[in-house]
Amino acid sequence: AQTVTQSQPEMSVQEAETVTLSCTYDTSESDYYLFWYKQPPSRQMILVIRQEAYKQQNATENRFSVNFQKAAKSFSLKISDSQLGDAAMYFCAYGSNSGGSNYKLTFGKGTLLTVNP
Amino acid sequence: DTAVSQTPKYLVTQMGNDKSIKCEQNLGHDTMYWYKQDSKKFLKIMFSYNNKELIINETVPNRFSPKSPDKAHLNLHINSLELGDSAVYFCASSQHTGVQETQYFGPGTRLLVL
């Protein structure tokens, strides 16, 4: 079964600084997708960024970028120029359309990010 | 304009009761989902429907029964509520089936069983 591990239950960063959230996953599939979702105190789940496993280039979305290491099964999220509004729980998620995953997303347990002014 | 809406947002009820949570999406999506987020924030898929047909049914007690009257609605009915059912339940939708599709989440329904 696919598993997603976020080893940092909590992280903190100073406003305007950079922070990296870690995520590792376990899979035997070769074609899959990885996601970072953000859940602020409002509870709304919001997609931050996604990566397709067959693409070697790391995805970027404005201040958010990933470091995707397929061989190491690692998918970290870098937030640059952190803002107070970035404070949230961040979830890493894995999905594949075949095998044991079969169309569903598997989420990690989350990393709570605090941004200090 | 709300994309994915859920009612109610909060639900407090007694053990043994039956309750329903409703979900509607106005995005024209084909696929809808129910997730459960427990007290430790762990988020797990429960069900998924594509064009009113069940495509994912995780290991969920039979007391939970999803119903999709049309592809814009996916309701969740829970019979004989137990303390362990207390959680936040999220509905989501995506254009089509497949994990490559971006999922849009509703605001969640916080269920508390006393």
Give the Cα separation of A65 and A45 in Å (integer): 18
Q: Is B39 left (phi over 0), alpha (psi -120 to 50) or beta?
A: alpha
What is the pLDDT at residue A96?
Answer: 83
Q: Contact at 8 Å (CB) between A110 and A6?
A: yes
Question: Tens digit of pLDDT for each residue in B8-34?
Answer: 999 999 999 999 999 999 999 999 999
CB contact under 8 A, A101 and B99: yes
- Whether residue A102 is predicted with pLDDT greater than 70 in this model: the reply is no
State both tokens at B33.
């989902």
Count A/B contacts: CB-CB distance under 8 Å.
54
Q: How far is B65 from chain A (nearest CA, A)?
A: 19
Average pLDDT, chain A: 92
Give the pLDDT mean for A75-99: 93
Nearest CB among A46, A89, A97 relative to B98 is that of A97
Q: Which residue has the higher pLDDT, B5 or A104?
A: B5
State both tokens at B46.
């429960």
Q: Could you say which DSSP state residue B71 is in?
A: T
- CB count within 10 Å of CB A94 equals 26
What is the pLDDT at residue B1?
Answer: 62
Asked, as a colleague might, if the bond just before B8 is cis with ω within 30 of 0, I would say yes
- Whether residue A101 is predicted with pLDDT greater than 60 in this model: the reply is no
CB contact under 8 A, B42 and A95: no
CB contact under 8 A, B105 and A46: yes
State both tokens at B8.
């109610």
Q: Which fold has domain A3-116?
A: Immunoglobulin-like (2.60.40)
Greatest Cα-to-Cα distance within chain A, rounded to the nearest angstrom: 45
Q: Could you say which DSSP state residue B102 is in?
A: P
What is the pLDDT at residue A60?
Answer: 95
Residue for token digits 């080893």? A7
Q: How far is A76 from chain B (nearest CA, A)?
A: 19
- Whether residue A114 is predicted with pLDDT greater than 60 in this model: the reply is yes
Give the pLDDT mean for B93-114: 91
Give the pLDDT mean for A90-108: 82
CB contact under 8 A, B105 and A45: yes
State both tokens at A71.
């061989």
What is the pLDDT at residue A100?
Answer: 53
Phi, psi of A84 (to 5 degrees): -60, -35
Residue for token digits 């995780």? B58
For the four alpha carbons of B44, B49, B55 and B59, in that order, the dihedral sign comes to positive
Q: Which of A105, A109, A111, A112 to mutate to test the interface with B (most CBs of B within 10 A)?
A: A105
Q: How far is B79 from chain A (nearest CA, A)?
A: 25
Q: How far is CA A88 from the centre of its chain?
A: 12
What is the pLDDT at residue B55?
Answer: 85
Classify B3 as helix, strand or coil.
coil
A52: nearest CA partner in chain B = B100
Name every chain A residue with its beta carbon within 8 A of the beta carbon of B89. none
- CB count within 10 Å of CB A38 equals 21
Bridge pairing between strands A111-116 and A10-14: parallel
Is the Cβ of A61 closer than 8 Å to some Cβ of chain B? no
Q: Which amino acid is at A2?
A: Q
Question: Tens digit of pLDDT for each residue in B27-49?
Answer: 999 999 999 999 988 999 999 99
Name every chain B residue with its beta carbon within 8 A of the beta carbon of A89. 41
Q: Contact at 8 Å (CB) between B70 and B32?
A: no
Superfamily in which the B4-113 domain is placed by CATH: Immunoglobulins (2.60.40.10)
Structural domain boundaries in chain A = 3-116
What is the pLDDT at residue A1?
Answer: 63
- Whether residue A72 is predicted with pLDDT greater than 80 in this model: the reply is yes
Give the pLDDT mean for A10-33: 94
Classify A84 as helix, strand or coil.
helix
- Whether residue A59 is predicted with pLDDT greater than 60 in this model: the reply is yes
Give the pLDDT mean for A74-88: 97
Give the pLDDT mean for A13-32: 94
CB contact under 8 A, A103 and B107: no
Is the Cβ of A46 closer than 8 Å to some Cβ of chain B? yes
> Closest Cα partner for A87 from A44, A46, A45, A40?
A40
What is the pLDDT at residue A84?
Answer: 96
Question: Tens digit of pLDDT for each residue in B54-89?
Answer: 888 887 889 999 999 999 999 999 999 999 999 999
